[in-house]
Amino acid sequence: MKAMLLEFPAPISEDPLKLVELPPPVPGPGQILIQVSFCGICHTDLHTVEGELPLERLPIIPGHQVVGKVVDQGPGVFRFRPGDKVGLAWLRHACGVCHFCRTGRENLCEQARFTGLHRDGGYAELVVAMEDFVYQLPENLAEQAAAPLLCAGIIGYRALKISAIQPRGTLGLFGFGASAHIAIQVARYWDCEVLVFTRSPGHQELARQLGAAWVGQAQDSPPTKLDSAIIFAPAGNLVPEALGHLNRGGTLALAGIYMTPIPSLDYEKHLYYEKTIRSVTAGTRQDGRELLALAAKIPIIPQVQLFPLAQANQALTLLKEGKIDGAGVLAVGE
């Protein structure tokens, strides 16, 4: 099979992903083999490729927003059959028995393993996955549009929940990439007023098209205080800016897996009046099921820019430069 393989982390400008031919993986007990059609690209992939995340295994095939069909299965598989359209997300496995797993917080499991980080992911023609951590995709979702829902969508949805935003509340989104452009569609479905803070003119225009009530930059003064806010950009300097725009009793959710250092905060200016900061860590399978059901109902329509598998380095470069409006997706099986 063809795959984009990371042998050693390096700046994306050095094209660290190499197109290689590898033997096809074989599914073991409880596993299925997925023929990949599309795989979304993500800032987490970028952090993996550039070595900003600890890498327990090299070489590794990145990619964790996988859409494809089942082509084979190992012993003990009961949920899927060959030909089923499925999705594979970031959370690959959790122990199922720890305190976190037993209380519906499997995303915090200390034994959790992640697709494209601990095991090979979807920047390849084939990928193996645990049956219990694979999603059956709604029939009315186009495959290329479903790919970004499997991480950008799930994380955006969990960030909305962590931010404690209520229907008809006022929500601020800082950064407007793949996750934010999905989250705004859910928030608008909940009749929230959404204010978007982003530097990119292209991202600003997309935010307006998707129903933002106001668009500006982080240092601008919005027309109203925020009940809740989410920072999607991996920029720690946005934290005091967002807290400054937050209303009393408001919650700020930090949705990145990686963030640059956060500047010192002024207690009275940034934190007093019962303001809350919460981080978002991965997502649970329940988050994924809820998001996919919403996506089919609303419907959520991700804006997608397609790239051939062999252009994964170039796609991640554009992602790093903020030059993708919406979500970037690798067309693997076309």
Give the start-to-end residue ranges of the domains of the chain: 2-151+282-331, 154-279
Q: What percent of the chain has pLDDT over 70?
A: 100
CATH architecture of the domain with range 2-151+282-331 = Alpha-Beta Complex (3.90)
- Per CATH, the architecture of 154-279 is what? 3-Layer(aba) Sandwich (3.40)
pLDDT at 101: 98
pLDDT for position 68: 97
pLDDT recorded at residue 141: 85
Distance, CA of 11 to CA of 74 (rounded, Å): 37
Dihedral (CA of 204, 208, 211, 214) sign: positive
When mean pLDDT is compared across 35-49, 132-146, 150-164, 220-234, the lowest value belongs to 132-146
pLDDT > 90: what percent of the chain?
93
Residue-wise pLDDT for 266-323, tens only, equals: 999 999 999 999 999 999 999 999 999 999 999 999 999 999 999 999 999 999 998 9
Helical H runs in the chain?
43-49, 99-102, 143-146, 152-162, 178-189, 201-209, 238-245, 285-297, 312-320
Length of the chain: 334
Per-residue pLDDT band at 50 (split at 50, 70, 90) = very high
**What pTM does this model have?**
0.93
What's the rounded mean pLDDT across residues 212-221?
94
Residue 140 has pLDDT above 90, yes or no: no
pLDDT of the residue at 292: 96
- What pLDDT is recorded for position 133? 97
pLDDT tens digits, residue range 94-105?
999 999 999 999
pLDDT of the residue at 164 = 97
Neighbours of 59 (CB within 10 A): 14
Q: How far is CA 19 from each of CA 40, 44, 51, rounded to the nearest angstrom?
A: 17, 20, 19
Q: Is the pLDDT of residue 334 over 80?
A: no
- Res. 219 pLDDT band, cuts 50 70 90: confident
Q: Give the C-alpha distances (Å, rounded to integers) separating 176 from 60, 116, 196, 198, 294.
A: 29, 24, 7, 6, 20
